[in-house]
């Protein structure tokens, strides 16, 4: 399944990517993250854990970074997802930067029933992007 949402922010692409690639910024805009902890920078790419407000820990691997353009991140070892990848694409536009988020995932058989639920709650993705816009506004007063 694939979900996608986008938002335009007034900051320049350099500011957006600087903020996005700063490890501590994730907790400033992603409501499901209280803390982000870098865990390694091995030959297969950087890894990090997130701690949710509930205390739940999830692990991720950065699959690809195209400096100033995009970032692709994979969820590791999930009980619900067989595979889940987030891709953020940054494009300079006349009024700032367009941020597009793609989420591609495959559910494990036990969780197939969640497919329609996740699809119909895709508005949460846009809400997260609005939180990102608000965090950017606070970080780079417009």
Q: Residue 110 has what pLDDT? A: 82
Task: State how far the alpha carbon of 72 is from the alpha carbons of 2, 54, 60, 65, 122, in Å.
Answer: 14, 25, 10, 6, 19
d(CA 27, CA 19): 12
- When pLDDT is cut at 50, 70 and 90, the band that residue 109 belongs to is confident
Q: What is the percent of the chain with per-residue pLDDT over 70, rounded to a whole number? A: 94
- What integer pLDDT is reported at residue 142 of this predicted model? 58
Nearest-5° Cα angle at 88, 114 to 94: 130
Residues 99-112 have a mean pLDDT of 88
Sequence-distant (≥ 6) Cβ neighbours of residue 138 within 8 angstroms: 28
Entry pTM: 0.86
What would the pLDDT profile of 2-27 be if each residue is shown by its tens digit?
A: 889 999 999 999 999 999 888 889 99
Q: What is the pLDDT of residue 118?
A: 67
Q: Is the pLDDT of residue 108 over 90?
A: no
Radius of gyration from C-alpha coordinates of the chain: 15
d(CA 71, CA 89): 7
Q: What is the mean pLDDT of residues 90-104?
A: 95
- Looking at residue 97, its pLDDT comes to 97
Q: What is the pLDDT, as a whole number, of residue 122?
A: 67
- Residues 6 or more apart from 4 whose CB is under 8 A from it? 100, 101, 102, 103, 125
CATH class for the region spanning 2-139: alpha beta
> Under a CB-based contact definition with an 8 Å cutoff, are residues 92 and 68 in contact?
no
Indicate the average pLDDT of the chain.
88
């Amino acid at each position: 399944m694939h979900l996608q949402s986008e938002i335009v922010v007034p900051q320049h692409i350099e500011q957006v990517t600087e903020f996005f690639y700063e490890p501590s910024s994730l907790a400033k805009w992603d409501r499901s993250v209280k803390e982000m902890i870098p865990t390694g920078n091995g030959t297969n790419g950087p890894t990090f854990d997130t701690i949710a407000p509930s205390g739940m820990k999830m692990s991720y691997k950065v699959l690809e970074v195209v400096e100033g353009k995009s970032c692709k991140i994979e969820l590791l070892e999930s009980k619900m997802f067989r595979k889940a990848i987030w891709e953020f694409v940054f494009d300079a536009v006349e009024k700032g930067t367009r941020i597009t988020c793609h989420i591609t995932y495959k559910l494990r058989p036990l969780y197939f029933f969640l497919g329609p639920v996740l699809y119909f709650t895709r508005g949460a993705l846009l809400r997260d992007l609005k939180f990102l816009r608000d965090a950017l506004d606070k970080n780079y007063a417009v």
